[in-house]
């Protein structure tokens, strides 16, 4: 099922969740466990038939050992609950590992999975010999994961290459995709392209680097009209955007406020009295706000 009634009636859920919940993790674990049972990892981790060494399933122990080795911190069997201590009592509660670890694991599974195709039935051992269609298996797994993510509003998506990217906020995401950076200044173009790439990264630390780089681009952009006098340069750029007095004043206030944000938070400088921007939603907001200003300047430049 890929087209549920609620989606047809209300539209798809907004993809804003950047932390994978225990519910989503449990669904992913169920999917992987079903794939193990079907022999879908037998291409990379084959279980051999004792009579002739044909592949008849997947070696689940080898699969688990490889997953644990490549995913430090991942427990096997995959855990979906953990014990919670409450005074003298303890009880199990839903659990999910760190989101980045889960995303790494999904990429590992994608690289290992293949659709098993039943061949000859071996009567004595009561199993089928298997061949595999890796492309079909990977696409089915990708579709399942993306459906789970979409139904739960998770802001990540598995590409056809098996790599996971972040689903950008709708309005900002469309602008980032379609904007071509041709400012006439190659360094500024490269800085903006770096921002675009980093802001799509699944790692929140990399996305924070995108915000810092965007503020660097802002500082360079402000000097393009007059490299010797930044204040004069900003005036020239703002004058080119609009001649309507009230809007011109608003834009100047916004430029001043953006300067203040960059200088007072841990974005452009690293003094101990500056406030770090940690919350991923705050990073998105500030990136969106500054990018909108930069985009307006570039369109009117």
Contact criterion met (CB below 8 Å) for 96 and 25: yes
- Bridge partner list, 130: 118
Q: Residues near 162 by Cβ (< 8 Å), separated by ≥ 6?
A: 107, 110, 111, 138, 142
Q: How many Å apart are CA 89 and CA 299, to the nearest integer?
A: 62
Distance, CA of 292 to chain centre: 22
What's the confidence (pLDDT) of residue 149? 96
SS3 164: strand
Q: Which residues of 276-300 are buried (b: 16+ CB within 10 A; e: fewer)?
A: ebeebeebbebbbebbebbbbbbee
Contact criterion met (CB below 8 Å) for 101 and 85: no
What's the confidence (pLDDT) of residue 161? 95
What's the confidence (pLDDT) of residue 270? 62
Phi, psi dihedrals of residue 232, rounded to the nearest 5°:
-65, -40
Q: How many Å apart are CA 287 and CA 71, to the nearest integer?
A: 31
Average pLDDT, 10 consecutive residues per value, the chain (301 residues): 77 86 97 95 90 84 96 94 78 93 97 91 78 95 96 94 87 66 88 89 89 92 87 90 92 92 73 73 89 86 68
What's the confidence (pLDDT) of residue 151? 94
- Bridge partner list, 83: 92
Q: How many Å apart are CA 127 and CA 299, to the nearest integer?
A: 65
What's the confidence (pLDDT) of residue 174? 64
The domain spans of the chain are: 5-165, 169-300
What's the confidence (pLDDT) of residue 12? 78
Q: Which residues of 168-182 are buried (b: 16+ CB within 10 A; e: fewer)?
A: bbeebbeebeeeebe
Note the pTM of the prediction, 2 decimals.
Answer: 0.79
Residue linked to tokens 């071509």:
180
Of 154, 169, 123, 206, nearest to 27 by C-alpha is 154
Residue linked to tokens 């990708």:
142
69: tokens are 């080795």
Size of the chain in residues: 301
With helix as H, strand as E and coil as C, how does 124-135 read?
A: CCCEEEEEEEHH
Q: Which residues of 236-263 are buried (b: 16+ CB within 10 A; e: fewer)?
A: ebbeebeeeeeeeeebeebbeebbebbe
């Amino acid at each position: 099922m890929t087209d549920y009634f609620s989606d047809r009636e209300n539209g798809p859920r907004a993809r804003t969740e950047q932390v994978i919940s225990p519910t989503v993790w449990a669904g992913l674990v169920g999917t992987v466990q079903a794939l193990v049972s079907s022999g879908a990892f037998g291409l990379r981790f084959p279980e051999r038939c004792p009579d002739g060494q044909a592949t008849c399933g997947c070696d689940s122990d080898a699969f688990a050992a490889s997953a644990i080795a490549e995913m430090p911190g991942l427990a096997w069997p995959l855990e979906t609950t953990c014990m919670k201590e409450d005074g003298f009592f303890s009880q199990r509660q839903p659990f999910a590992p760190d989101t980045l670890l889960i995303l790494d694991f999904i990429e590992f599974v994608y690289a290992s999975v293949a659709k098993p195709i039943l061949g000859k039935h071996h009567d004595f051992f009561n199993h089928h010999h298997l061949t595999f269609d890796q492309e079909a298996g990977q696409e089915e797994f990708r579709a399942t994961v993306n459906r789970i993510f979409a139904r739960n509003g998770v802001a990540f998506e598995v590409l056809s290459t098996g790599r996971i990217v972040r689903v950008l906020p709708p309005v900002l995401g469309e602008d980032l995709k379609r904007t071509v950076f041709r400012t006439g200044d190659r360094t500024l173009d490269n800085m903006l392209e770096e921002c675009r790439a980093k802001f799509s990264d699944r790692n929140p630390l990399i996305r924070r680097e995108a915000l810092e780089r965007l503020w660097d681009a802002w500082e360079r952009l402000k000097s393009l009209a007059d490299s010797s006098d930044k204040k004069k340069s900003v005036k020239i750029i703002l004058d080119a955007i609009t001649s309507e007095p009230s809007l011109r004043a608003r834009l100047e206030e916004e430029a001043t406020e953006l300067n203040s944000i960059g200088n007072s938070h841990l974005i452009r400088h690293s003094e101990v009295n500056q406030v770090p921007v940690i919350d991923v939603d705050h990073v998105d907001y500030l990136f969106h706000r500054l990018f909108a200003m930069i985009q307006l300047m570039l369109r009117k430049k």
